[in-house]
Structure 1
Amino acid sequence: MFEVTCVGIACADVLVKPVSDFPERGKLGLVQELTLQAGGCALNAAIDLAKLGVSTAMVGRIGSDGFGQYLLGVLQKEGVGVEGLVVDPTTPTSASVVLIDWDGERSILHLLGTNARFAFEDVNLDLVRASKILFIAGALLMPLFDGQGAARLAKIARETGVLVCMDTAWDSSGQWLRKIDGTLPYIHWFMPSYEEAKALSGHENPEDIARFFIVRGVENVVVKLGEQGCYVDSTACGASFYAPAYRLERVVDTSGAGDAFCAGFITGLLS
């Protein structure tokens, strides 16, 4: 079957750049680029994993609209397994408008769409059980799946011998830890961004953040620190350390950077 099954968010991203200021109400602002791309934590990671030579399946929910057909086509073109995708004819595909400034940093307007209807019952458990790694990506943005659904899936995967990894998204509802606390004891590798991890834990120091999640049952924590790299606290390896990032002369766009990190890390776990 597949080495990795990515479960979670898929959405269409409309990228607009550069955007430093919004035009005044009722007025027009000009930009240099406006492009449509496939996005969403799970979908991005699935494509990146496939590009790294890892056989990968995508499990999620899309609409039967133009955005949904576009996402399906991109996944198929990149060689990602799509038998785990559910097509919803009554709900628009999740989509984002990503506003990118001159430094490559993003502000995002998001329509939950089909991701809001994704639930445990949508998951192809045969795909998950036959995989080496389950990657739950976009936790906190799937209201019917976050909580009991995610915990149930992670428990099934772990009991089957599947390595369970999880990444989060920004929780605009403000519920944060309540949504994922029950899932944490089943997670082998938790890989949140620093800002999300800080909001979840209430701590600012990466070491305190990692320890917060380990106390709650996570086996290993990787806090993504952007240009600073990451901090790793691994009970499995009995080690904790900072890993610096490669230095770049210029950052063009940070869209999907965290998802690419997760894909690379998961590829390393398979090795």
Structure 2
Amino acid sequence: MNTPNPALDVITIGEAMVLFAAQQAGPLDDASSFARTTAGAELNVAIGLARLGLRVGYLTRLGQDLFGRHIAAVLSREGIDRQQVVMDAEHPTGFMLKSRSDDGSDPQIQYFRKGSAASHMQVGELSSAYCASARHLHLTGIFVAVTPSTREVVLELAARSRAAGLSISFDPNLRPALWRSKDEMVASLNQLSTFSDWVLPGLEEGRLLTGRDSVQGIADFYLERGAQGVVVKLGPEGAFYATPTERGHVAGVPVTRVMDTVGAGDGFAVGVISGLLEGLTPAAAAARGNAIGARVVQFPGDADGLPTRAELDALRKA
């Protein structure tokens, strides 16, 4: 079982990419200047948790190139443990382009990740000792879809974490383009969810994965398969939470202007995970998720709006 005083609070695994964000609103084809930052759902969560003072470890492969060195520097700057970050001299770091949308609509995104260093990650790189040094594992449905080898890595990490006594959270974070078929995606992500204590689907994700229309039905699907809790993201309407003994709705946080919707779900996960690890009730953890998600959409970058502990305290007071 997990050690009483683990070295890390949370570990997560995924593909980190360099993001070039357009600086002019409009179609990506017309953008003429870009700002460089980082992207990757799991990386966003790692950054958000680290800014709140949690001890976070990140598992990935980066190319031994300028993009990889940039991401490694960001990990260090954010205080994220890099012991399980492999620098790969043979394969490049992935990157992506994102349009700017000032009207609150979802931006256009173009990925350049095929054959990346992260896509070549192997089970042999996993350290059981490192896994057992943490309290909690956070997973998404993205890295499991990248290649057969990354799928094997994620499932093995989930199994080892379960055996070591870690709690596990899972955000489906659907990326249909990465899968060969809808059926494969649904079967694989539902398999991964069975390792998880807390499942954090969006409403439409939940409907697709469970075949159930209502938030109650979606929650029941995961609770019936062993989850201890489910939080369904409802966007501006807030969130619905359910455990075997309680359930309810937490209102959303009003936002006057949406700058960028990308990363809102990752911010929500930061709030829920940090809240649960700190002993908050499911309702209070969901409320923190709503608050951080609402803050994130008011900033242009994926991780720009993720708050520090002081900024979170200010949000709570507001």
What TM-score, normalized by structure 2, do the two folds share? 0.75
1:165/1:189 contact within 8 Å kept? yes
Specify every segment of 5 or more residues in structure 1 that has no aligned partner in the other structure, as ranges. 24-28
After superposition, what is the alpha-carbon deviation per residue over 1:94-142, rounded to whole angstroms, capped at 9, x for unaligned?
A: 2221223222422322233233223333333222211111112334433
What's 2:192 paired with? 183
Give the counterpart of 1:194 among 187, 203, 208: 203
Contact 1:148 1:182 in 2 (8 A): no
Deviation at 1:21, TM superposition (A): 4.0
Task: Provide the C-alpha distance between the structure 2 equivalents of 1:144 and 1:248, rounded to a whole number of angstroms.
Answer: 40
Distance 1:117-1:160 versus aligned 2 partners, 3 A rule: same
User: What is the SS of the residue equivalent to 2:219?
Assistant: helix
Equivalent in 259, 270, 284 of residue 252 of structure 1? 259
Shift of 1:212: 2.5
Counterpart CA distance in 2 for 1:57 and 1:205 is 35
**Which of 236, 247, 251 does residue 240 from structure 1 map onto?**
247
Distance 1:180 1:73, change over 3 A: same
Aligned to 1:129: 132
In structure 2, relative to structure 1, the CA distance for the partners of 1:171 and 1:120 (3 Å cut) is: farther
Equivalent residue, structure 1, for 2:112: 111
The alpha-carbon distance between structure 1 residues 266 and 102, as it changes in their structure 2 partners (threshold 3 A), is same
| Residues 7-156 of structure 1 aligned to structure 2 (within 5 Å) | 7-21=13-27, 29-30=30-31, 34-104=34-104, 105-112=106-113, 113-137=116-140, 138-145=142-149, 147-156=151-160
Sort the Cα spacing of 1:145 and 1:194 in 2 relative to 1 into closer, same or farther, 3 A. Answer: farther
Number of equivalences: 263
Q: Distance in 1 between matches of 2:221 and 2:10?
A: 27
Q: Could you say which structure has the higher strand fraction?
A: 1
Distance in 1, matches of 2:214 and 2:112, equals 32
Q: Identity of counterpart residues, as a percentage?
A: 25
Bigger mean CA offset, 57-66 vs 212-221:
212-221
Report what 2:299 is aligned to: none
Distance 1:185 1:44 in 2: 24
Distance 1:101 1:154, change over 3 A: same
Deviation track 1:31-82 (CA, whole Å, cap 9, x = no partner) reads 6x62111110111111111100111111112111211111000010111111
Q: 2: distance between equivalents of 1:245 and 1:145?
A: 38
Deviation at 1:144, TM superposition (A): 2.9
Between 1:133-142 and 1:34-43, the stretch displaced more is 133-142
Check 1:90–1:267 CA distance in 2 against 1; reply closer, same or farther (3 A cut).
Answer: same
Deviating more after overlay: 189-198 vs 156-165: 189-198
Q: Which amino acid aligns with 1:72?
A: A
Q: Is the 8 A contact 1:115 1:141 kept in 2?
A: no
**Aligned counterparts of 1:130 and 1:78: Cα–Cα separation in 2:** 20
Secondary structure at 1:61's aligned position in 2?
strand
Could you list the runs of 5+ residues in structure 2 that have no partner in the other structure? Answer: 1-6, 279-318
Letter in 1 for 2:262: S
Question: 1:217 is matched with which residue: 220, 226, 230?
Answer: 226
Aligned-residue Cα RMSD (Å) equals 2.2
Whether the aligned pair in 1 keeps the contact of 2:197 and 2:226 (CA below 8 Å) is no
Asked if structure 1 preserves the Cα contact closer than 8 Å seen for 2:232 and 2:240, the reply is yes
